Structure 1
Amino acid sequence: MRLRFFLATLVLCMLFPMQVFAATDIKGVRLWRAPDNTRLVFDLSGPVTHNVFALDSPERIVIDVKSTRLSADLKAILEQKSPIKDVRVGLQANELRIVLDMAAKVTPKSFTLAPNQQYGHRLVVDLYDEKGTTGNKAEPTVPITVPSTPISTAKTPATYKQRDIVIAIDAGHGGEDPGAIGPRGLKEKDVVLAIAKELQRQINAEKGFRAELVRTGDYFIPLRKRTDIARKKNADMFISVHADAAPRASAYGASVYALSDRGATSETARWLADSENRSDLIGGAGNVSLGDKDQVLAGVLLDLSMTASLASSLDVGQKILNQMGNVTRLHKARVEQAGFMVLKSPDMPSILVETGFITNPAESRKLANRSHQMAIARSIHTGVKQFFYSNPPAGTYVAAQRDAGKTLIGPLQHVVKSGESVSILALRYQVSIAEIRRANKLKGDTIHIGQKLTIPARTLAAQP
């Protein structure tokens, strides 16, 4: 009996040791540099056990990975700009040691990822810059910390109080996260960054406005940190740009999303319960001050702020959607509402713009086209202007111009859609029916679907 047991155990040991103890391969490595951190992603043939720690004098990061073989050229990461000066590899017993020689002090964090979509097993190592050190940044960026009242730039009047309206533009995904992928390999992260940069260019050419990019290059930012960055830039509005995916390749059309009512309610509770977020608001980073309020009153004020932000989000979202309908097909004619994480900000209007279905072959080709990207950006820009010309924040150049009764917007081009009339357009654009008739040489009020109309420039009077 004992002999049988011994032989069975021996057979099992001969059959399974290679599966159990076989070394995992590091098949490749990728690097992304963000303004304040560096991300390393090791592609693996299987799961691993690892340990990461920092050493100083000189500064270096040590990555120990058990039962692992190296099948990739780690020196390739030195070709990109980052705080990593050199990389060395050693093998001790059954453990692979990777040493990163650093140009500046960093704080490491690491985690592993199971296979997902096009990716296999991965080991992710994030190297966060210490305050006061920058390493080698991938590109020059605007500092995250700005004065509480932005100082006017050259394109605004010298009067200090007449600040710019600040728009935070968030290009979705990035770095390790490509987002949706089109039929010819077009990545959502690349398309939306191109549109975001074009939107920034257009907004910055508009007097009284300033656009700030949340993501300036090809790197990943956690969802909540995206709104944190916008808040630290004192943004008056947050716009997240995406390109949708769908199970059916035939799905088409642009969409605009605002936060759902249920999401707004749950987010109010989360902000009140989360001491870190609460201290952020109390510290003045946001536009809601709760520092001197008791819990009940703070809840009421924050709920009111969330409700007001949601109403503004729906308003500007519809204006943008109306403009996008002039340059591309729409998936839905009205703003949709969902619990997207990046929309859960209680102190600024926030919308998510789906510029089209990148998984639709025809829309994918359009989204890759520079002219179409410019047209999409222009439609978002126009909707933003319409909203802020009607609702300018106090102390801004736009508010001063409106109060002075000066012309602020127009002329615009509008493509007539089903159900629209001259009277509806006059109400929407705040011009008279007679002005629309004169601008388009209309003899009456008959208009047709697909007809292009000029909406004349107009002056927006101060609100009572």
Structure 2
Amino acid sequence: MRKGSARHRPLLGVVSLLVTLATPVFAGELRGVALAVGATGTRAELQLDGAGAYTTISLHGPERLVVDLPASKASAGLKLPAAAGVVRSVRTGQPVPGTLRVVFDLDSSVTMLAPRMEGQGAQSRLVIEWPGDGPDPSTATAPAAATAMAPPPPTPAAPTPPPVSAAQATAALASSAAAASAAPGPQRLSPQQILNGARTAEPADAPAKVTPNGISYTVATGKPAVTPEAAAARAAADAMESNKPAAPAPPPRIPPGTRPLVIAIDPGHGGQDSGAIGPTGKYEKHVVLAIARELARQIDATPGMKAYLTRDSDYFIPLNQRAVKARAAKADMFVSIHADAAENRSASGSSVYVLSTKGASSQRARWLADKENASDLVGGVSLSKADNTLSSVLIDLAQSGHMRASEDAAGYVLTGLKNAGNNHKPHIERANFAVLRTSDMPSMLVETAFISNYDEEKRLMDPAFQRKIAGAVLSGVKTYFTRQPPPGTLFAAMAAGQVTAGASSSSSESAP
């Protein structure tokens, strides 16, 4: 018996091993899938718990993006999102045991940005983005606008009185004179009233009137009579006309084929990275998003310019990916928006910073760069990995052609901010900001105000102040591109004298 048992032990071990191999061991779990659509395009987030490894495959005919998560499974009751943006549907499957597949069916062939994994462990998420302009805000308000602009229903025309001949008018005048002389009181009937059989009182000295075809004429002059009511209405209209503001200048005629200037606006922080916190608990990430949205609105309202937001809601983006997104949008300039903070609660004013790879211009600039660069640590991204994406030599090469342009543009923006209020420093500052490090275009970081200052925190929450700051930044950006316009843009055409005032069909076709 013992020998038999010993003899069967190896066989039992093999069977146990086969059972173990046949049963998939899941090291990760897909806990959720989210889709969002905004001004930057379509964004998908896969909430993961565990391994976090993935592979992606783009398929065509029809367009699909396949995401394989090895050693993973879907959580119980996983709900998949409805269609949004370029994504028509989301589905899951299992191509091989132990591998979870997520398939995004797409409306069109859109090249996605490089997927990235954020966080780790139970907080990890795979972010996939398809760039685009997002929904057209005009479509959302089109029905209301159409209703508001609909012409009023036609008013039924008043019946036209029968024509009055010259003979009738003469007879009426004669009758009017006779009636006036026989009247007991200071009353006079108008000729038309006599013809209509009416009898109403008029001032004794009123001139005799006839109204052929409904138009009142005095017999003496033949000119249209002006009643007191009409004179009052005319005086009121003249007064309103004199106080009416001048009509806005027509938009410039945009030459066909002219491309818009694209300004990338980067609201700092976001998601789990709240940024600085004000005395009353206001978060920097919310304040700068509001200012960035206002700046984007003003830019989009400027002929020849178009805004691109690196984020349009509250989520985190690694610092090195912000410039990557701006580059994918073919941006001409990169502006990162922040709200400053300091231990000195009385510090106030705006500041503008540009990149320096050779040291900071001041101790505060160095401190601020270190603080902003630490945002990736809050977001779960290793700074060492981010820094290794480009060597210092490549960074210098990428920036060498844009350092001077960045300083020029930052100087104009600083002037605009000075005109809108007070600046913290009268000159631009320099430091090694990670968010500017991989940018290959003129770029700057704007500290709009000190959120650590009680009064400025309050102002930062004020829409009027947000509009003022956004307008100051836009003023500087416009000044820079007016003096250094890129070829093929409206600003270049204006500099060359090729643009004339007046809207045309070409302006509607070429405008962004």
Alpha-carbon deviation of 1:382?
3.7
Q: 1:86 matched to which residue of 2?
A: 90
Q: Distance in 1 between matches of 2:299 and 2:116?
A: 39
- CA distance in 1: counterparts of 2:337 and 2:356, whole angstroms: 18
- 2:467 aligned partner: 374
CA–CA distance in structure 2, aligned partners of residues 384 and 56 of structure 1? 41
1:165-204 equivalences under 5 Å are 166=261, 168-173=263-268, 180=275, 182=277, 188=284, 190-203=286-299
CA pair 73-400 structure 1, distance change in 2 beyond 3 A: same
Instruction: Report the 3-state secondary structure (helix = DSSP H, G, I; strand = E; otherwise coil) of the residue aligned with 1:354.
Output: strand
Provide the residue aligned with 1:255 in structure 2. 351
Q: Does 1:98 align with 2:65?
A: no
CA shift at 1:374, angstroms?
A: 0.7
Residue 118 of structure 2 is aligned with which of 96, 113, 122?
Answer: 113
Map residues 248-397 of structure 1 onto 2, 5 A cutoff: 253-260=349-356, 262=358, 270=394, 303=400, 305-306=401-402, 308-326=404-422, 330-341=423-434, 343=436, 349-358=442-451, 363-384=456-477, 391=483, 393=485, 396=492
3-state SS, counterpart of residue 338 of structure 2: strand
Question: Between Structure 1 and Structure 2, which shows a larger proportion of helix residues?
Answer: 2
Equivalent AA in structure 2 for residue 351 of structure 1:
M
Contact 2:341 2:451 in 1 (8 A): yes
113 and 337 in structure 1: CA distance in 2 versus 1, 3 angstrom threshold: same
Whether the 8 Å contact between 2:409 and 2:476 is mirrored in structure 1 is no
Task: Please name the residue that 1:406 is paired with.
Answer: none
Q: Unpaired segments of 5 or more residues in structure 1?
A: 1-16, 142-152, 278-301, 402-464
Query: Is the contact made by 1:309 and 1:346 (CA closer than 8 Å) also made in structure 2?
Result: no
Distance verdict in 2 for CA 1:42–1:177, change over 3 Å: same
SS in structure 1 opposite 2:124?
strand
Aligned twin of 1:139? 135
Correspondence 1:210 to 2:214: no
What is the DSSP-based 3-state SS (H/G/I as helix, E as strand, rest coil) of the residue aligned with 1:85? Answer: strand
- CA distance 1:188–1:71, shift in 2 (3 Å): farther
Cα separation, partners in 2 of 1:82 and 1:201, compared to 1, 3 Å? closer
Match for residue 123 of structure 1?
A: 125
- SS of aligned partner of 1:315: helix
User: What's the TM-score once normalised by structure 1's chain length?
Assistant: 0.52
Contact 1:309 1:347 in 2 (8 A): no
Q: Secondary structure at the match of 1:198?
A: helix
Matching residue's letter, 1:113: E
Deviation at 1:155, TM superposition (A): 1.9
For 2:484 and 2:463, the matched residues in 1 are separated by 31
Q: Give the CA deviation at 1:353.
A: 0.9
* Closer, same or farther: CA 337–67 of 1 in aligned 2, 3 Å: same
Residue equivalent to 1:404: none
Distance of 1:325 and 1:203 partners within structure 2: 21
- The residue identity in structure 2 corresponding to 1:369 is D
CA distance in 2, matches of 1:313, 1:195: 19
- Call closer, same or farther: CA 1:246–1:100 in 2, change over 3 Å: farther
Q: Are 2:265 and 2:308, in contact at CA under 8 Å, matched by a contact in 1? A: yes
Equivalent in the alignment of 1:299: none
1:67 Cα offset (Å): 4.3
Residue 433 (structure 1) aligns with: none
CA distance in 1 between counterparts of 2:46 and 2:458 reads 32
Give yes or no for contact 1:227–1:345 (8 Å, CA) kept in 2.
no
What secondary structure does 2:51 align onto?
coil
Q: Take 1:80 and 1:242, find their aligned partners in 2: how far apart are those partners?
A: 30
Aligned equivalent of 2:322: 223
**Partner AA of 1:124 in structure 2:** L
- Secondary structure (helix, strand or coil) at the match of 2:252 reads coil
Q: Indicate the RMSD between aligned Cα atoms, in angstroms.
A: 5.0
- CA displacement at 1:70 relative to structure 2: 0.8
Which TM-score applies when normalising by structure 2? 0.48
Counterpart of 1:70 in structure 2: which amino acid?
A: S
Equivalents in 2 of 1:93, 1:248: separation in Å?
59
- Tell me the matched-pair count: 325
Check conservation: 2:42, 2:130, Cα contact below 8 A: yes
Gaps of 5+ in 2: 1-19, 138-248, 361-389, 498-512
* CA offsets 1:426-453 (integer angstroms, 9 cap, x no match): xxxxxxxxxxxxxxxxxxxxxxxxxxxx
Deviation at 1:340, TM superposition (A): 3.0
SS at match of 2:68: strand
Question: For 1:358 and 1:120, how far apart are their aligned partners in 2?
Answer: 32
Structure 1 Cα separation of the partners of residues 260 and 411 of structure 2: 17
Which residue type is aligned with residue 381 of structure 1?
A: L
Residues 337 and 447, structure 2, Cα contact 8 Å, conserved in 1: yes
Separation in 2, partners of 1:186, 1:372: 16
Structure showing the higher strand proportion among its residues: 1
Whole-angstrom distance in 2 between the partners of 1:28 and 1:369: 36
2:43 aligned to which of 39, 57, 64: 39
Residue 44 of structure 1 and its aligned partner are, at CA, apart by 3.2
Change (3 A) 1:202 1:94: closer
Query: Which of structures 1 and 2 has the larger relative contact order (alpha carbons within 8 angstroms, sep 6+)?
Result: 2
CA 1:360–1:67 in 2, change beyond 3 Å: closer, same or farther?
A: farther
2:135 maps to a residue whose letter is: E
The whole-number CA distance in structure 2 between the counterparts of 1:384 and 1:48 is 42
